[in-house]
Amino acid sequence: MNRPDKIYGKGFVGKTLSRFAQLFENELYNERYAAGDGLLQSMDPRIKVLVVLAFMVFIGFTDNCIILVAAGTVSALYAAASALPLRPYLRRTWLYLPTLIFILNLPGASSLLTGGTPLFYIIPAGNFVHEGVYFSTAGLNMALRIALRTGDSMAFAFLLLMTTRWSDLTCGLRRMHLPEIFVSILNMAYRYLFLIAETGTDMMQARHMRTVGAIKSADSRRFVSSRAGQLFIRVHSMSDDIYGAMKLRGYDGSPVNLRELRTGAADWLFVLVNVIILVILTIGGYVF
């Protein structure tokens, strides 16, 4: 398969083009799995939203790293039961942002900012600094906790998005009595995102095709930032047409869905199972 980064090269413009291409790939990828036959795909989107929210609130209030790992494991089990490919799922949820957040929190985990029992020294005591510089157990625990919370929250949010069609999700949100304006903005943002990506890809490709020889990285960055303004102007004029096209087909702000949303016995059983899991995790937080 032709990967976008292979086609467009590794320059700044090439990388920007690859990102646009990846957006479309991701959308196709998500839609393919959302239309699958797994556990979460069969659930009512409203129930899924509630369960995911419950897990996110729980994760936000949990301090125990073991329990946070357990919550992450629950999300991975749900991913497996929903026939999502585990490796890409784990890579997309855990590899980048949680790792980055852990690294960014490391200075705060050192004795320069957080005291506590030394776990290991970066600069031994007495060499340059009298007490040395070290990571404390409390500091590392804090950094790990923040990274785990981020990863867990992303994992559940990702689970919801990967197993729910966008139209089902917004329809579910509207049926949960979220304000119409909120759901409309979500819908429009989603549609414009692809419009922007498509228009941006065209502009970048036009530049890519007319580029002969090496271009300085600074020039490429300047080009991308100046095109961002152009892109905004173009998309603004197209956005009026898109809204017009929606109005012409009867759109009045209320999202509609081809699939009928029904909450059945399986959905309520799913709620019950998750309540039990959350209770067990809460008790576990006191035990460990």
Partner 1 sequence: MNIFQLKNLNFSYSMRPEVLTGLNFSVEAGERVCILGANGCGKSTLLKILAGLLSPTAGEFFAFGNKMDPAVLSRDESKVYHRRVGYVFQDSDVQLFCSNVREELAFGPLQLGLSHDEVMASVNRMAESLDITKLLDKAPFHLSGGEKKKVAIASTLILDPEVLIMDEPTNDLDPRSQTWLLKLLHRDMASGDAGRKPHASDLLDGSKPHAKTLIFSTHNLELVPHIADRALLFNEDHQLCADLPVRELLQRVDLLRSVNLVDEHFHTHPWDFE
69, 106, 256, 276: which one binds partner 1 (CB under 8 A): 256
Residues whose CB falls within 8 Å of the CB of residue 21, separated by 6 or more in sequence, listed in order: 4, 8, 201
> Of 62-70, 97-105, 120-128, 254-262, which part binds partner 1 (CB under 8 A)?
254-262
Residue 168 burial (CB count, 10 A): 21
Contact 46, 175 (CB under 8 A): yes
Nearest to 40 by CA among 139, 164, 140: 164
The interface mask with partner 1, positions 127-166, x = CB under 8 A, is --------------------------------------xx
208 binds partner 1 (CB under 8 A): no
H-helix or E-strand containing 119?
strand 118-123
Contact 288, 67 (CB under 8 A): yes
260 binds partner 1 (CB under 8 A): yes
> Of 14-22, 121-129, 210-218, 234-242, which part binds partner 1 (CB under 8 A)?
234-242
Contact 208, 14 (CB under 8 A): yes
Radius of gyration of the chain from Cα atoms? 24
Residue 196 DSSP one-character state: H
Residue 37 or 260 having the CB closest to partner 1: 260
245 binds partner 1 (CB under 8 A): yes
- How far apart are alpha carbons 36 and 42 in whole angstroms? 9
194 binds partner 1 (CB under 8 A): yes
176 binds partner 1 (CB under 8 A): no
Residue 175 or 221 having the CB closest to partner 1: 175
Residue 75 or 201 having the CB closest to partner 1: 201
60 binds partner 1 (CB under 8 A): no
124, 247, 264, 268: which one binds partner 1 (CB under 8 A): 247
31 binds partner 1 (CB under 8 A): yes
Q: Which two tokens stand for residue 124?
A: 């031994």
Residue 108 burial (CB count, 10 A): 13
Contact 10, 217 (CB under 8 A): no
Nearest to 46 by CA among 54, 58, 38: 54
49 binds partner 1 (CB under 8 A): no
205 binds partner 1 (CB under 8 A): no
195 binds partner 1 (CB under 8 A): yes
List of residues contacting partner 1 (CB under 8 A): 24, 27-28, 31, 165-167, 191, 194-195, 198, 238, 241-242, 244-252, 254, 256-258, 260
